[in-house]
């Protein structure tokens, strides 16, 4: 159940980002999505979802897009993310 829930959540985010592929995310959209994706990943990992499901192609796509958007914002906007980043504190 949790694996399907996680997969569907990531698919929805991925589809939303794909619909806006040619648009840069607003700073508040980016901050919110980073928080949602990181919290979802951590919570479902704690629920025992397997690594293969957690690190799916869909998650990799979402992670890559948010990382690129984060890099763009860090170059163009000073202090916009206020410490919010896709990088895990474990890394």
Please state, in angstroms and rounded to a whole number, the distance separating the CA atoms of residues 6 and 22: 26
pTM over 0.95, yes/no: no
Residue 22, pLDDT score: 87
Examine residue 39 and state whether it is found in any structural domain, yes or no: yes
Farthest CA pair distance, the chain: 42
Q: Is residue 2 part of a domain?
A: yes
* Residue 72, pLDDT score: 83
Provide the residue range defining the domain that includes 4: 1-75
pLDDT tens over the chain, length 91 residues: 889 999 999 999 999 999 998 888 888 899 899 999 999 999 999 988 889 899 999 999 999 999 998 888 877 766 666 666 677 644 4
Long-range contacts of 11-19 (CB under 8 A, 24+ apart): 11/58, 13/37, 13/62, 14/58, 14/61, 14/62, 17/61, 17/62, 17/65
CA angle, 43 then 63 then 6, to 5°:
35
In a domain, 52, yes or no: yes
């Amino acid at each position: 159940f949790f694996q399907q829930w996680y997969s569907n959540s990531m698919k929805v985010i991925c589809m939303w980002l794909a619909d806006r592929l040619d648009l840069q995310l607003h700073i508040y959209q980016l901050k919110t999505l980073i928080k949602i994706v990181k919290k979802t990943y951590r919570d479902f990992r704690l629920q025992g979802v397997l690594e293969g499901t957690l690190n799916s192609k869909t998650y990799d796509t979402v992670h890559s897009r948010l990382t690129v958007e984060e890099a763009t914002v860090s170059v163009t906007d000073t202090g916009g993310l206020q410490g919010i980043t896709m990088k895990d504190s474990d890394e």
